[in-house]
Amino acid sequence: MSITKNNLKRLFVAIKVKPEQSTINVFKSLRKSLYAQNIRWVDPENFHITLKFLGDTYVEDIPIVSNVIANTVATKSSFDIELANTSIFGSRYKPRLIWFGCSNCQQLNVLADDLFCNLDDIGFSRDRQNFIPHLTIGRISLLRDKNVLNEQIANYKNVELQKIKIDKLYLLESILNKGGSNYEIINTYKLK
């Protein structure tokens, strides 16, 4: 049997984030201040915190993956985190992503670690990098002025954005297109 794109879905596990007006205001202000840079901004309707990128996954394996996620969250109670701070991934000289960070996220780290262990048991290896909970807001294609980016990030570095209630995880499919990615919900998992 040959492998086709019909046999595979590009999946990830995430927390969907509904941005409050304060978060949208900071996002718009940052986007406006960096208008001259070549940055692909994430639509606020697609805001999410990725816990685990699974990548191309066989359709027939989705029930197994779904069961592992469901079992991981079955004993977990809902909790709150704070969306706060703005930073970049990559270096100051070659930045790749702009993101909002999380604070008060000890419970999120425990949940993510349990998820990583359980998914590792079925063949989805842990990432080599440490898990840093974040919400990607922009992907940097080309910078015309790194100093402007660094100044603007510094202006929003310690901003407090909003509280987020973590009561659900989502298994999402990322569907790539010319305008970026669309996300389709495969399954939803409720915490206690």
Range of the domain at 79: 5-190
Q: Is the pTM of this model over 0.85?
A: yes
Assess whether 134 carries a catalytic annotation: yes
Looking at residue 5, its pLDDT comes to: 60
Domain total of the chain: 1
- φ and ψ of 13, to 5 deg: -105, 130
CATH number at residue 45: 3.90.1140.10
Residue in 134, 140, 169, 170 annotated catalytic: 134
pLDDT tens track, the chain, 192 positions: 445 567 999 999 999 999 999 999 999 999 999 998 999 999 999 999 999 999 999 999 999 999 999 999 999 999 999 999 999 998 877 899 999 999 989 999 999 999 999 999 999 998 888 899 999 999 998 888 888 999 999 999 999 999 999 999 999 999 988 777 889 999 999 999
- Find all residues with CB under 8 Å of 160, minimum gap 6, and list them: 82, 84
Assess whether 28 carries a catalytic annotation: no
Residue in 16, 31, 48, 146 annotated catalytic: 48
